[in-house]
Amino acid sequence: MMRQKVDETENVRFLRQVTLFSGLPPAGVARAAAAARERVYRKGSSIFFEGDPGEAMFIIKEGAVKIYKLSPDGKEKTLAIISRGDCFGEMSLLDGLPRSAAAQALEDSRLLMLPREDFLELVASDPGVALKIIQVLAARLRAADQQIEYLAFGDARGRVASTLLDLGRKHAMPGPNGYTIDIRLTHQELANLSGVTRETASRILSEFEEDGLIRIQEKSIVILSEEGLRSVASF
């Protein structure tokens, strides 16, 4: 992890685009930008671990972050893949409990870190921040509900299709022949998100490619047929 000098003007412009801070009065955004500290994490480095004290929240300026949990026997369950403009780590600041999951940089990433005291002061001074937090948490609950539904009722192909559609909605770059998922995931990481084994995920990706639903190129996945994936994901 490396520290970088923060350009407050740059961060004000950036925070205005972040859901949690958009729509706030200029003074509130400026206060958050002034309190923020920039941190750089290299690919594969840990940002925090499950059980750590919640001392700050983070906003992704560049890169991608994996949120995950480990089972008692060391198996990893990926909860989310997040990227530019996404926030994480705020729950521990609100309830004072240790981190409920771990966070790791999937790519070289630049993050803004907002210390707990500054975050709580911002929440207390502007009701709009509290409302935005409720909206963000509600969206995560809905996403978690959908994930539980697919894990409970969907078959392996449906789970992988649903994961690809979700990644496409959040991280895809449009191209002439489809949408490229703009995050390079290993088959194991895709399997963890989908609740299947790595071998199953690899087999299903090959099947999807043969069916013309996706194309795999240079370790990236191009979605060729959203409609086809939605058909597979439905149950």
Question: Which tens digits make up the pLDDT trace of 71-105?
Answer: 888 888 888 899 999 999 998 998 889 999 999 99
Output the six-digit token pair for 171.
């991280």
Name the 3-class secondary structure at 15.
Answer: helix
pLDDT confidence of 131, banded at 50, 70, 90?
A: confident
Lowest mean pLDDT among 133-137, 142-146, 149-153: 149-153
What ranges do the domains of the chain cover?
A: 4-151, 154-233
How many angstroms separate the CA atoms of 88 and 67, rounded? 9
Helices (H), 51-180: 91-95, 116-125, 127-153, 156-171
Q: What distance in Å separates the CA atoms of residue 235 and residue 217, rounded to the nearest whole number?
A: 29
pLDDT of 1 above 70: no
Check residue 235 and give its pLDDT. Answer: 62
111/3: higher pLDDT:
111
Confidence of residue 7 (pLDDT cuts 50, 70, 90): low
C-beta atoms surrounding 71 within 10 Å? 8
Residue 68: band (very low, low, confident or very high) from pLDDT cuts 50, 70, 90: very high
Is the pLDDT assigned to residue 179 strictly greater than 90?
A: no
Identify the pLDDT of residue 110: 96
> Would you place residue 5 in the very low, low, confident or very high pLDDT band (cuts 50, 70, 90)?
very low
Instruction: Tell me the average pLDDT of the chain.
Output: 89
Nearest Cα neighbor of 61 from 119, 121, 107 is 107
- H helices, E strands: number in the chain: 9, 13
DSSP string, 161-177: HHHHHHHHHHHEEEETT
Domains 4-151 and 154-233 in one fold: no
Contact predicate 36/114, CB 8 Å: yes
Q: Which fold has domain 154-233?
A: Arc Repressor Mutant, subunit A (1.10.10)
Q: Listing from the earlier edge strand, what are the strands of the sheet with 178-181?
A: 172-175, 178-181, 220-223, 214-217
105 contacts 41 by C-beta, under 8 angstroms? yes
Instruction: Name the residue among 102, 101, 104, 125 with its Cα closest to residue 27.
Output: 125
Task: Find, among 81, 89, 83, the residue nearest to 188 by Cα.
Answer: 81
The most confident of 15-24, 39-48, 114-123, by mean pLDDT: 39-48
SS3 3: strand
* pLDDT value of residue 6: 52
CATH of domain 4-151: 2.60.120.10
